[in-house]
Structure 1
Amino acid sequence: MAIKNISICTLLVNRANDRHGELENETAAIAWLFKEREQHMRNLAKDIVDRGEIYEFPLVSPEKDKFVVFDGNRRVTCLKLLDDPRRGPTIELQVFFQEQRSRWKGAFPKDIQCQVELDRDRIDEILYRRHTGTQNGVGQSTWDDRMKATFVARTGKGSGPSVADEIEKRLADAHLLPLRRKIPRSTLNRLLSAEPLRNRVGISMKGGRFQFTHDEATSLGALARIANDLASRQVVLGDIWDVDGKEQYLNRLDGEGILPSPSHEAVKVDGVTTRSKSGKTKPIAKATPTTRSTLIPQKDFGLLWPGRLQRHHQIWEELQFHLEPRKHANAVSVLLRVLIELAIENYIKEAGVTVYDNDKLATRLEKAGLHLQAAGKIDSKHMEVIRKFKQGDKIVSADTLNKYVHSSNFAPSPEHLMSMWDSLAEVIVLFLKA
Structure 2
Amino acid sequence: MLVFEWGESMSYRKLPLASLVVNPANDRHGELENETAAIAQLFATQELHMRSLAKDLVAKGEIFEPPLVFPSGDRYIVADGNRRTTCLKLLATPRRALTVELQEFFADCRKNWPGDFPDKVECRVKTDRDRVDDILFRRHTGVQGGIGQSTWNDRMKANFVIRTGKGGGLNVADEIERRLKDAKLLPGRKIPRSNLNRLLSAESLRNRLGISVRKGKRDIIRDEQETLTALHRVANDLASRTITLDDIWDTESKLAYIDALETEGVLPQIALKSKTSPGTPTPAPRVPHPIPAPPRPPVWPHLIPNVSYGVTWSAHLQRHRAIWEELQYKLDLGETPNAVSVLLRVLLELSIDNYVKRRQLTNVQEGDKLANKAGKVADHLHAASKIDKKYLGAIVKLKQGEEIVSLDTLNRYVHSPNFSVSPDHLNMLWATLAEFIVLCLEA
- TM-score, reference length from structure 1: 0.92
Q: Distance in 1 between matches of 2:177 and 2:338?
A: 51
Q: Distance in 2 between matches of 1:26 and 1:161?
A: 31
1:251 aligned onto 2:239: no
1:428 aligned onto 2:437: yes
CA RMSD of aligned residues (A): 1.6
Give the conservation status (yes or no) of the 8 Å contact 2:230–2:267.
Answer: yes
Q: Counterpart amino acid of 1:140? A: Q
Q: Distance in 2 between matches of 1:77 and 1:25?
A: 13
1:90 aligned onto 2:138: no
Q: Which residue number in structure 1 is paired with residue 334 of structure 2?
A: 326
Q: Distance in 2 between matches of 1:191 and 1:161?
A: 13
Q: Which residue number in structure 2 is paired with residue 227 of structure 1?
A: 235
CA 1:267–1:5: 2 relative to 1, 3 Å: farther
Give the SS at the match of 1:320. Answer: helix
Give the conservation status (yes or no) of the 8 Å contact 1:215–1:266.
Answer: no
Q: Distance in 1 between matches of 2:180 and 2:396?
A: 47
Task: Could you tell me which runs of 5 or more consecutive residues in structure 1 were left unpaired when the two chains were aligned.
Answer: 270-289
Q: Counterpart amino acid of 1:137? A: G
Give the conservation status (yes or no) of the 8 Å contact 2:177–2:186.
Answer: yes
The structural deviation recorded for 1:100 is: 1.0
Q: Distance in 2 between matches of 1:410 and 1:351?
A: 35
Matches within 5 A, 1:11-410: 11-179=20-188, 181-262=189-270, 264=271, 291-353=299-361, 354-410=363-419
Q: Distance in 2 between matches of 1:295 and 1:327?
A: 11
Q: Distance in 1 between matches of 2:62 and 2:273?
A: 58
Higher deviation after alignment, 72-81 or 295-304 = 295-304
Q: Which residue number in structure 2 is paired with residue 282 of structure 1?
A: none
Higher deviation after alignment, 147-156 or 406-415 = 406-415
The structural deviation recorded for 1:302 is: 0.4
The structural deviation recorded for 1:292 is: 2.1
Give the SS at the match of 1:112. Answer: strand
Give the SS at the match of 1:330. Answer: helix
Q: Counterpart amino acid of 2:225? A: A
Higher deviation after alignment, 192-201 or 330-339 = 330-339
Q: Counterpart amino acid of 2:13? A: K
The structural deviation recorded for 1:324 is: 1.6
Q: Counterpart amino acid of 2:29? A: H
Task: Could you tell me which runs of 5 or more consecutive residues in structure 2 were left unpaired when the two chains were aligned.
Answer: 1-7, 277-297
CA 1:358–1:46: 2 relative to 1, 3 Å: closer
Give the SS at the match of 2:122. Answer: strand
Give the conservation status (yes or no) of the 8 Å contact 1:388–1:396.
Answer: no
Residue 424 (structure 2) aligned to one of 415, 418, 421: 415
The structural deviation recorded for 1:265 is: 5.6
Q: Distance in 2 between matches of 1:300 and 1:268?
A: 30
Q: Which residue number in structure 1 is paired with residue 281 of structure 2?
A: none
Q: Distance in 2 between matches of 1:187 and 1:5?
A: 30
Give the conservation status (yes or no) of the 8 Å contact 2:226–2:269.
Answer: no
Higher-Rg member (1/2):
2
The structural deviation recorded for 1:248 is: 0.8
Give the SS at the match of 1:133. Answer: coil
Q: Counterpart amino acid of 1:343? A: S
- State the number of aligned residues: 412
Question: Which consecutive segments of 4 or more residues in structure 1 shift more than 6 A?
Answer: 266-269
Give the SS at the match of 1:47. Answer: helix
The structural deviation recorded for 1:356 is: 2.6
Give the conservation status (yes or no) of the 8 Å contact 1:202–1:260.
Answer: yes
Q: Distance in 1 between matches of 2:310 and 2:155?
A: 16
Higher deviation after alignment, 147-156 or 371-380 = 371-380
Give the SS at the match of 2:57. Answer: helix
Higher deviation after alignment, 365-374 or 110-119 = 365-374
Give the SS at the match of 2:255. Answer: helix
Give the SS at the match of 2:155. Answer: helix
Higher deviation after alignment, 13-22 or 413-422 = 413-422
Q: Counterpart amino acid of 1:5? A: K
The structural deviation recorded for 1:359 is: 2.6
Give the SS at the match of 2:77. Answer: strand
Give the SS at the match of 2:124. Answer: strand
CA 1:388–1:3: 2 relative to 1, 3 Å: same
The structural deviation recorded for 1:30 is: 0.6
Q: Counterpart amino acid of 2:263? A: G
The structural deviation recorded for 1:325 is: 2.1
Give the SS at the match of 1:205. Answer: strand
Q: Distance in 2 between matches of 1:159 and 1:18?
A: 14
Give the conservation status (yes or no) of the 8 Å contact 1:214–1:266.
Answer: no
Deviations 1:16-71 (A, max 9, x none): 10011111211111111111111111111111111111111101111112111000
Q: Distance in 1 between matches of 2:222 and 2:409?
A: 41
Q: Counterpart amino acid of 1:429? A: V
Q: Counterpart amino acid of 1:311? A: R
Give the SS at the match of 2:79. Answer: strand
- TM-score, reference length from structure 2: 0.90
Q: Distance in 1 between matches of 2:168 and 2:409?
A: 47
